[in-house]
Amino acid sequence: MAVVIAFLANIAVAIAKTAAALITGSASLVAEALHSWADAGNEVFLLLAERSGRRRRDREHPLGYGRDVYFWSLFAAFGLFTVGAVLSIVTGVQELFAPEEGADYLVGYIVLAVAAVLEGGSLVQSLRQVRRETARLDRDPADYVLNGSNATLRAVVFEDIAALIGLAIAAAALALHELTGIAAFDGVGSILIGVLLAIVAVLLIQRNRRFLVGTTPPESARREVLRRLLVHPAISRVASLHLEFVGPGQLLLIAAVDLVDDEAESVAAVRLRQVARDVEQHESIAIAALTLALPDEPSLEV
């Protein structure tokens, strides 16, 4: 839902900013228009990410399609860098060397104010989703946005925050241009917006890379999974535990355990498979693979 709202808001804002940029000739507004078009294009990638990542695992993809979310989100971040950041900086540099006189500043201010309302509404919706998810997971909202496994939500929140900061920069540049008559302020504003977008894009690229390569959940999540294993009636101890994200909120679990009773190998295999199915009932465990622990392996404790 957050992605859809952000997409609709960015399309409306991009059209308004483009019209205002054409009327005023402001480089900062051109940069902001590029920013919004880049964001709108990125939302398409994020929608593809959510749709692709929800597919069920099959024989060809035994770990599921969850990492597709990070693949498409990586494209979105790269698009923000190339379309938003690079073109905004180029526009700003061109304005410094070949400044254009601004006209009808009021139109620019009105468009920036409307854009702020729309972007603010999108951010509020995104933060509501963050609060819902962090309340369920008992995590700090800021840490969840920065380091959590939900790549599409992180991208929307970062883009909305960057959009509001960019609007403030554009408004300041437009005002300074109007007050001083120096068009270079517009060029500097465009460059600053480009740098802001570059920082956000690089941060998003780095985060998506972590999850594509493979990363583990926070220690609190690991302790919770270990606790759930130890309270299972069929498990007497856990000797090893490996957790790795295979998609947003989805973990691969590999553990070596001891069963409560000593049983024949065939019976133990059946019980292990049943315990694994029980563990997979938890919403955050996509796949559980359990093996028997060796007698001399130390036990893990919560």
Question: According to the model, what pLDDT value does residue 168 have?
Answer: 93
Using 70 as the pLDDT threshold, list the residues of the chain that sit under it: 1-2, 100-103, 262-266
Question: According to the model, what pLDDT value does residue 169 have?
Answer: 92
Question: According to the model, what pLDDT value does residue 101 have?
Answer: 64
Tell me the three state secondary structure of residue 56: coil
Question: According to the model, what pLDDT value does residue 2 have?
Answer: 67
291-302 burial code (b ≥16 CB/10 A, e <16): eebeeeeeebee
Question: According to the model, what pLDDT value does residue 74 have?
Answer: 87
How many other CB atoms are found less than 10 A from the CB of residue 39?
A: 31
Q: Where are the domains of the chain?
A: 2-213, 219-292
Q: Which residues contact 132 (CB under 8 A, 6 or more apart)?
A: none
Which CATH number applies to 2-213? 1.20.1510.10
Q: Which residues contact 39 (CB under 8 A, 6 or more apart)?
A: 6, 10, 14, 80, 84, 159, 163
Record the pTM: 0.80
The CA angle 194-196-200, to the nearest 5 degrees, is 115
User: Tens digit of pLDDT for each residue in 211-256?
Assistant: 988 888 888 889 988 998 888 888 888 888 999 998 888 898 899 8
Domain 219-292 belongs in CATH node 3.40.50.970: no
Residue 217 per-residue DSSP state? P
Question: According to the model, what pLDDT value does residue 30 have?
Answer: 83
